[in-house]
Amino acid sequence: MPPNHGILDNMVKKKPGGLLESIKTIVYAALIAIGIRTIAFEPFNIPSGSMIPTLLVGDYLFVSKFSYGYSRHSMPFSPNLFQGRIFGSLPRRGDVAVFKLPRDGSTDYIKRMIGLPGDRIQVRQGVLHVNGVAVRRENLGPYTVEGDGPRITVRRWRETIPAIGGQPAVAHDILEATDDGPFDNTQEFLVPEGHVFAMGDNRDNSLDSRAQNMVGFIPVDNLVGRAEFIFFSVDEGAVWWQPWTWPFSIRWNRLLTAVR
């Protein structure tokens, strides 16, 4: 009997330790996850069509947090622990980046970085101008927009931001339903120091820096990170409570593709 009691005693003594170890493991895992999310990569999903055709509704992507350095917006809930950026650097023209909406400091937006401090940005008859120079664009033909409201057919263009100030030229695709929309003829915007100018690739369906009273210039401190690659993508036919629909709704050709 004594040996059995000894075994029982040992089992009873291990239970509190086992529970404590489990709690520690969960806490450590949470801290590691928060650390990775803060300093390395953070996942985001695309809920709207302002970046079509580059990003589609239902895309899930990773954003690198280290690309532009760290600000308070690099951390969950943007705690006001410090001002400015640590190891900060400006984005390149053409980068696709996530930022906090300036007017509330909490809503996540994702757009393409078009203008850097000191740049002059203007759109004339649908054509982007950077520092007075028209950006070259090539007509790629019709494109059907799906999954963001009514199905419509628009024009797809290959736009090339020229090499400026040592930065390489960047080519990407944009959509234009018309060259005479509300944001297709703008004033010339002078990007102030410490700010960037952002635009969506779906040019006629994007609320961006052209809307000065809604978005405006983006403070560099509001940058969260650069979009790197799509790790998952699913069309609007997928319903989370119907897992049997998932395989037919996954956009397999978009998985693990770089964001350009």
Render each residue's pLDDT in the chain as its tens digit; 260 residues. 444 444 334 444 444 567 887 787 787 776 676 666 667 789 999 999 999 999 999 999 999 999 999 999 888 878 888 888 998 899 999 999 999 999 999 999 999 999 999 999 999 999 999 999 999 999 999 999 987 778 899 999 999 999 998 889 999 999 999 999 989 999 999 999 999 999 999 999 999 999 999 999 999 999 999 999 999 999 876 766 777 777 888 999 999 999 99
Spatial distance between the Cα atoms of 118 and 13, rounded to a whole number of angstroms: 68
Whether 48 sits among the annotated catalytic residues: the reply is no
Give the pLDDT confidence score for residue 157 in this predicted structure. Answer: 98
Claim: this prediction has a pTM higher than 0.75: yes
Give the pLDDT confidence score for residue 38 in this predicted structure. Answer: 67
SS3 26: helix
β strands within the chain, DSSP E: 41-45, 59-64, 96-100, 108-115, 120-124, 127-130, 133-134, 136-145, 152-161, 170-176, 189-190, 195-199, 218-219, 223-233, 257-258
Give the pLDDT confidence score for residue 242 in this predicted structure. Answer: 75
Give the pLDDT confidence score for residue 25 in this predicted structure. Answer: 76
Give the pLDDT confidence score for residue 237 in this predicted structure. Answer: 64
The answer to whether the CB of 116 falls within 8 A of the CB of 191 is: yes
Give the pLDDT confidence score for residue 12 in this predicted structure. Answer: 40
DSSP run (H or E) holding 88: none
Whether 71 sits among the annotated catalytic residues: the reply is no
Give the pLDDT confidence score for residue 37 in this predicted structure. Answer: 66
Q: Out of 71, 111, 206, 209, which one is annotated catalytic? A: 111
